[in-house]
């Protein structure tokens, strides 16, 4: 075998990959923390720390298992701070004759590595990350010839193909494919929610390195109590904790919102999975094993709701990403161009739902999907914010945000900028939905029950203004017919009031 350099990216920490199953003294693994990756968007400080610590732990485990590893920390004097320069330097220094890498899960890096391989004068080869259930191209093949790409049909096919929660006659366990209707309860204080699983690590060393290297970040961090898992063992601890303490009520309160509960019954496994420290298969198998051992205590709706997010939605969104890129990243079907409000960076707003959701994002690098979709994304869409600005914020602020999953969820599901590739209608609402799902409205300066006036919930005005402003875009959209009909029936004076106040909000959102 030729002396080979194998590159491992920061979101490719798959301990079970076939590369690592045997040692070879002609193989050198390379990993690096670079300003190229910390700087292409402004990331949350906890996100940068989590990835760097996880990468370091992964590299150390490889070394302990007898593999040769070259690792550059962010302040290493040998670090050229960008991927191609580092690889070229090591090829020359180590007399490398062959280069290998794993398929990146970001189009930007996919192109960068293809370009690198075309320029180097040694042979190269690319391998699968062995993480996902599907290949990049599977979604396109599955929906070939179909008018719409409906996640539910893909999800059912995945259940059948992998024998997950299926009966022998190819019917779903429990008789239903989807228990989403059972996943919409409002949490009002009971049942009791266990404390989130955290680790309380001291991360002062890496913070000092980031400061020395002048790495620009956003968000907040407690250097003495870093909460996130950064090793395989810790990730498995979080998974076990979810099964033993949270799964029993996960589905019921999956969409709930509450001022006193940031995490509710959510697993918070997305970083562990998106960094590939945990695979979707081991997460699904572990949770299913626990469910089958405790079926007398756990309703099927809890486990199905969890499985659907991983086997269905996660794989579906990755497939859409690779099918639609690179054009997907520039889609703006609703022609939105406004600036993202400053309070997304500070948390300073009188709108209580936004104040809680933004500050939680800044404090924890985390918000669950309803906060992201129906509060933060809802407001950005109703104020007709440029999807480029929304993308940059979401990609930076969340610890689990890697472009393949962030872009499709934000530009597609949240902002409807793709014109309906992911979602069949825009996910917008007045304040009534937010009030229905949680208690944010009770302690807000604005009244969710009022539709007009200075103390009315801004979402109430913005919702009708959005429908009015974008009505041409929704002609022919059957799912929007009812709301368009209500808009047409609205009294002119009422509609004018909605429009006028919305213009004030959109012009000066940070005044609300």
Q: Cα–Cα distance between 28 and 60 in angstroms, integer?
A: 14
| 259 touches 439 (CB < 8 A) | yes
What is the Cα Rg of the chain in Å? 24
* 362 and 420 belong to one structural domain: yes
Residue 132 lies in a domain: no
More confident residue, 146 or 58: 58
Residue 188 lies in a domain: yes
- Nearest Cα to 361, choosing from 24, 21, 46? 46
Of the three residues 289, 305, 324, the one that is the final residue of a domain is: 324
| 168 touches 183 (CB < 8 A) | no
Strand ranges (E), 427-493: none
Q: What are the helix (H) ranges across 314-471? A: 315-324, 343-346, 352-364, 369-370, 378-382, 387-397, 403-407, 431-437, 458-469
| Strands 27-32, 98-102: pairing kind | unpaired
pLDDT at 179: 92
Q: Cα–Cα distance between 127 and 134 in angstroms, integer?
A: 14
* Bond into 326 cis (ω within 30): yes
**Mean pLDDT for the chain overall:** 96
Confidence of residue 42 (pLDDT cuts 50, 70, 90): very high
Of the three residues 280, 305, 324, the one that is the final residue of a domain is: 324
Of the three residues 324, 354, 377, the one that is the final residue of a domain is: 324
* 388 and 475 belong to one structural domain: yes
pLDDT at 182: 84
Mean pLDDT of 333-348: 98
* 399 and 436 belong to one structural domain: yes
Mean pLDDT of 190-217: 97
Residue 194 lies in a domain: yes
Residue 133 lies in a domain: no
Is the model's pLDDT at 310 over the cut of 90?
yes
| % of the chain at pLDDT higher than 90 | 97
pLDDT digits (tens, 9 = 90+) for 70-82: 999 999 999 999 9
* 315 and 375 belong to one structural domain: no
Mean pLDDT of 206-219: 98
Q: Cα–Cα distance between 195 and 80 in angstroms, integer?
A: 42
Query: Residue 417 burial by CB count (10 A; 0-12/13-18/19+): exposed, middle or buried?
Result: buried
| 467 touches 494 (CB < 8 A) | no
Q: Of how many residues is the chain composed? A: 512
pLDDT at 51: 98
- Nearest Cα to 36, choosing from 162, 178, 215, 220? 215
Mean pLDDT of 99-116: 98
Query: Residue 175 burial by CB count (10 A; 0-12/13-18/19+): exposed, middle or buried?
Result: exposed
* 148 and 253 belong to one structural domain: yes
* 342 and 316 belong to one structural domain: no
Q: Cα–Cα distance between 428 and 373 in angstroms, integer?
A: 9
| H or E element that contains 290 | helix 280-293
Q: Cα–Cα distance between 76 and 52 in angstroms, integer?
A: 13
Domain that holds residue 345: 330-511
To the nearest 10°, the Cα dihedral for 360, 315, 307, 381? 40
Is the model's pLDDT at 184 over the cut of 90?
no
DSSP string, 299-341: -HHHHHHHHIIIIIIIHHHHHHHHHHTTGGGG--TT---BPPP
| % of the chain at pLDDT higher than 70 | 100
The CATH number assigned to the domain holding 319 equals: 1.25.40.80
Q: Any bridge partners for residue 166, and if so which?
A: 172
DSSP string, 153-166: HHHHHHHHHHT-SB
Q: Cα–Cα distance between 234 and 53 in angstroms, integer?
A: 12
Is the model's pLDDT at 296 over the cut of 90?
yes
pLDDT digits (tens, 9 = 90+) for 281-291: 999 999 999 99
Tell me the torsion sign for CA atoms 456, 462, 464, 468.
Answer: positive
Residue 33 lies in a domain: yes
User: Residue 221's Cα: distance from chain center in Å?
Assistant: 20
* 12 and 86 belong to one structural domain: yes
pLDDT at 169: 84
pLDDT at 180: 87
* 444 and 488 belong to one structural domain: yes
Residue 489 lies in a domain: yes
**Nearest-5° Cα angle at 383, 377 to 389:** 60
* Bond into 221 cis (ω within 30): no
Residue 252 lies in a domain: yes
Confidence of residue 494 (pLDDT cuts 50, 70, 90): very high
pLDDT at 204: 97
* 169 and 308 belong to one structural domain: yes
Mean pLDDT of 262-274: 97
* 317 and 425 belong to one structural domain: no
Residue 354 lies in a domain: yes
Q: Is 485 helix (H, G, I), strand (E, B) or coil?
A: helix
Which residue in the block uniquely carries the two structure tokens 């509609």?
495
Mean pLDDT of 110-137: 97
pLDDT at 353: 98
Query: Residue 466 burial by CB count (10 A; 0-12/13-18/19+): exposed, middle or buried?
Result: buried
Confidence of residue 132 (pLDDT cuts 50, 70, 90): very high
Sorted by sequence, the CB contacts under 8 Å of residue 70 that are 6+ apart come out as 28, 29, 30, 31, 90, 94
pLDDT at 446: 98
Q: How far is CA 250 from CA 183, 348, 467, 504, in A?
A: 8, 31, 33, 39
The CATH number assigned to the domain holding 458 equals: 1.10.579.10
* 122 and 39 belong to one structural domain: yes
Mean pLDDT of 404-419: 97
Q: Cα–Cα distance between 263 and 369 in angstroms, integer?
A: 11
| 187 touches 222 (CB < 8 A) | no
Q: Cα–Cα distance between 89 and 105 in angstroms, integer?
A: 24
Number of domains in the chain: 3
* 340 and 439 belong to one structural domain: yes
Confidence of residue 183 (pLDDT cuts 50, 70, 90): confident
The CATH number assigned to the domain holding 79 equals: 3.40.50.620
Q: Cα–Cα distance between 133 and 318 in angstroms, integer?
A: 11
């Amino acid at each position: 075998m030729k002396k080979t350099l194998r590159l491992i990216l920061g979101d490719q920490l798959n301990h079970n990959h076939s590369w690592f199953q045997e040692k070879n003294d002609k193989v050198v693994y390379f990993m690096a923390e670079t300003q190229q990756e910390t700087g292409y968007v402004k990331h949350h400080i906890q996100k940068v720390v989590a990835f760097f610590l996880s990468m370091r732990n992964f590299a150390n485990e490889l070394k302990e298992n007898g593999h040769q590893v070259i690792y550059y920390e962010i302040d290493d004097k040998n670090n050229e701070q960008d991927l191609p320069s580092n690889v070229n330097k090591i090829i020359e220094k180590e007399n490398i004759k062959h280069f290998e890498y794993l398929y990146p899960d970001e189009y930007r890096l996919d192109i960068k590595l293809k370009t690198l391989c075309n320029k180097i004068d040694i042979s190269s080869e690319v391998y699968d990350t062995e993480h996902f259930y599907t290949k990049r191209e599977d979604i396109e093949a599955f929906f070939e010839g179909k008018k719409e790409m409906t996640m539910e049909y893909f999800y059912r096919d995945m259940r059948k193909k992998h024998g997950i929660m299926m009966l022998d006659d190819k019917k779903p366990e429990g008789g239903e494919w989807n228990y989403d209707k059972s996943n919409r309860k409002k949490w009002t204080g009971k049942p009791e929610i266990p404390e989130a699983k955290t680790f309380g690590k001291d991360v002062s060393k890496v913070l000092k390195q980031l400061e020395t290297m002048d790495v620009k970040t956003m968000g907040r961090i407690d250097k003495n109590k870093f909460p996130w898992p950064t090793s395989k063992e810790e990730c498995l601890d979080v998974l076990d904790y979810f099964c033993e303490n949270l799964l029993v009520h996960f589905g019921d309160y999956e969409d709930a919102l509450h001022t006193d509960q940031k995490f509710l019954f959510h697993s918070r496994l997305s970083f562990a999975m998106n960094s590939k420290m945990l695979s979707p298969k081991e997460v699904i198998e572990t949770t299913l094993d626990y469910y089958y051992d405790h079926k007398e205590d756990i309703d099927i709706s809890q486990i199905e709701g969890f499985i659907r997010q991983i086997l269905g939605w996660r794989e579906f969104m990755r497939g859409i990403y690779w099918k639609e890129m690179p054009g997907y990243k520039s889609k703006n079907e609703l022609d939105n161009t406004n600036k993202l409000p400053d309070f997304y960076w500070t948390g300073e707003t009188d709108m209580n739902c936004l104040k809680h959701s933004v500050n939680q994002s800044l404090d924890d690098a985390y918000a669950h999907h309803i906060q992201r979709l129906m509060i933060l994304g809802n407001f950005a869409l109703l104020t007709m914010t440029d999807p480029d600005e929304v993308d940059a914020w979401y990609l930076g602020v969340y610890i689990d945000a890697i472009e393949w999953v962030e872009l499709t969820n934000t530009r597609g599901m949240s902002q409807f900028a793709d014109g309906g590739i992911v979602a069949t209608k825009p996910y917008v609402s007045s304040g009534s939905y937010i009030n229905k799902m949680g208690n944010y409205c009770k302690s807000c300066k604005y009244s969710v029950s009022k539709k007009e006036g200075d103390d009315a919930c801004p979402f109430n005005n913005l919702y009708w203004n959005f429908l009015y402003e974008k009505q041409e875009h929704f002609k022919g959209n059957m799912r929007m017919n009812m709301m368009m009909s209500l808009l047409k029936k609205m009294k002119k004076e009422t509609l004018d009031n909605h429009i006028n106040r919305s213009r004030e909000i959109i012009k000066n959102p940070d005044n609300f």
